[in-house]
Amino acid sequence: MKKRLFPVLLAALLLLGGCTPAPAGDEKLHILATTYPIYLLVTDLTTQTEDVTVDLLVNSQTSCLHDYTLTVEDMKAIEGADVIVMNGAGLEDFMSDALSQSSAAVIDCSRFVDLLPTLEHAGHDGHDHEEEWDPHYWMDAGWGLTVRNELRQALAEYVELTGPFVEYQLPDPASLLGGLSCPYLITFHDGFQYFAKECGLTLLKAIEEEEGSTASAREIKEITALIDQYHIPAIFVEKNGSRATAEVISRETGCGIYELDMLMSGGEGRFSAYLNALYANMETVREALK
Ligand SMILES: [Zn+2]
């Protein structure tokens, strides 16, 4: 929409000849979604709206975005965006510099959600930190409907959305996960707080691993003790995440290792892909803890 090539630069490009600048008269609204779940929401809401392009910023095989580094391509995508729709709550800290230099409008979806405090700040650890919020709210399917409704209104400020508003059936965690013999989760990332809450499960422990290293001997001992104490049949790693510590613990306790999907990448551009992935996570938990 507001593709602003500086006149001088444009003239220079024309003089050089052969170099074609971005298509002139591009009247489309360029929306950039930062994460795959946000992308699925935006494509769903704009699928029948003309003159809108929707791009996904990060679609890499990563477990979660915390250590992501912007590529040159990403910078270009940010530069070319009219509206950036982001997850927020600190998940995209890796792009804060690029964002501060961008003239795009920003829709931060975390403001549509009741956020939970991050796990390490949830307890009474005796320290006096600033409150921090857990950004992994998309792992709760209920988020899908809340954010979808709010985002629809927020996007309407920039483009007239056309087409029917489809209602989706959300997964029912109670019917799928009720009556599990073991309602406890041990995970390898603190990204499952919302998921556990939605499913009525207790997140006993979320182990944060530094890239390329395993948890400390003390932590492994602590988890092994928990597994014995609560008779836990399986622990959960992330798809594309590290399995090193989990394998050490599995060898020691005989517990199984299962993978949960954080929905950081995917090939499908439909909102149903989001719901299907969350269903699949619930199925995985049921299979692992039944
Ligand atoms: Zn995360």
What is the predicted pLDDT for the residue at 189? 83
What is the predicted pLDDT for the residue at 72? 95
Residues of the domain holding 72: 7-155
Question: Ligand 1: distance of its center to the CA of 72 in Å?
Answer: 23
Same-domain pairing of 18 and 105: yes
Same-domain pairing of 11 and 150: yes
Question: Ligand 1: distance of its center to the CA of 120 in Å?
Answer: 13
Alpha helices in 123-207 (DSSP H): 141-155, 173-177, 193-199
Question: Ligand 1: distance of its center to the CA of 186 in Å?
Answer: 15
- pLDDT tens profile 242-284: 898 999 999 999 999 999 999 988 887 788 889 999 999 999 9
pTM for the predicted model, two decimal places:
0.85
- pLDDT tens profile 31-74: 999 999 999 999 999 999 999 999 999 988 777 888 899 999 99
Structure tokens at 254: 């005989």
Which of 110, 129, 155 finishes a domain?
Answer: 155
Q: For residue 23, is pLDDT > 70?
A: no
Is residue 100, in this structure, part of any structural domain at all? yes
Share of the chain above pLDDT 90, in %: 61
Q: For residue 101, is pLDDT > 80?
A: yes
What is the predicted pLDDT for the residue at 211? 64
Same-domain pairing of 137 and 195: no
Q: Which residues contact 51 (CB under 8 A, 6 or more apart)?
A: 27, 28, 29, 159
Is residue 33, in this structure, part of any structural domain at all? yes
Is residue 280, in this structure, part of any structural domain at all? yes
What is the predicted pLDDT for the residue at 215? 81
Q: For residue 148, is pLDDT > 50?
A: yes
What is the predicted pLDDT for the residue at 13? 41
Residue for token digits 């050089």? 16
What is the predicted pLDDT for the residue at 237? 94
Alpha helices in the chain (DSSP H): 7-16, 36-46, 72-79, 96-100, 119-122, 141-155, 173-177, 193-199, 217-230, 244-253, 271-289
What is the predicted pLDDT for the residue at 277? 92
Is residue 168, in this structure, part of any structural domain at all? no
pLDDT grade for 194, boundaries at 50, 70 and 90: very high
Same-domain pairing of 18 and 103: yes
Specify the length of the chain in residues. 290
Structure tokens at 57: 């910023």
What is the predicted pLDDT for the residue at 7? 44
Same-domain pairing of 12 and 99: yes
Is residue 2, in this structure, part of any structural domain at all? no
Is residue 167, in this structure, part of any structural domain at all? no
Contact indicator for 100, 57 with CB cutoff of 8 Å: no
Question: Ligand 1: distance of its center to the CA of 192 in Å?
Answer: 9
Same-domain pairing of 110 and 71: yes
Question: Ligand 1: distance of its center to the CA of 223 in Å?
Answer: 20
Distance in angstroms (rounded) separating the CA atoms of residues 221 and 142: 35
Question: Ligand 1: distance of its center to the CA of 5 in Å?
Answer: 37
Same-domain pairing of 14 and 134: yes
Question: Ligand 1: distance of its center to the CA of 21 in Å?
Answer: 38
Same-domain pairing of 12 and 142: yes
Question: Ligand 1: distance of its center to the CA of 63 in Å?
Answer: 7
Structure tokens at 148: 């979808």
What average pLDDT does the segment 176-187 reach? 90
Contact indicator for 39, 60 with CB cutoff of 8 Å: no
User: Measuring CA to CA, how many Å separate 148 from each of 50, 108, 269, 271?
Assistant: 19, 13, 15, 10
pLDDT grade for 131, boundaries at 50, 70 and 90: low
Question: Ligand 1: distance of its center to the CA of 136 in Å?
Answer: 6
Q: For residue 87, is pLDDT > 70?
A: yes
Q: For residue 223, is pLDDT > 70?
A: yes
Is residue 160, in this structure, part of any structural domain at all? no
Question: Ligand 1: distance of its center to the CA of 134 in Å?
Answer: 9
Same-domain pairing of 108 and 232: no
Give me the chain's average pLDDT, please.
Answer: 86
Is residue 112, in this structure, part of any structural domain at all? yes
Question: Ligand 1: distance of its center to the CA of 195 in Å?
Answer: 12
Which of 127, 155, 183 finishes a domain?
Answer: 155
Same-domain pairing of 106 and 137: yes
CATH number for the domain spanning 200: value is 3.40.50.1980
Number of domains in the chain: 2
Contact indicator for 171, 279 with CB cutoff of 8 Å: yes
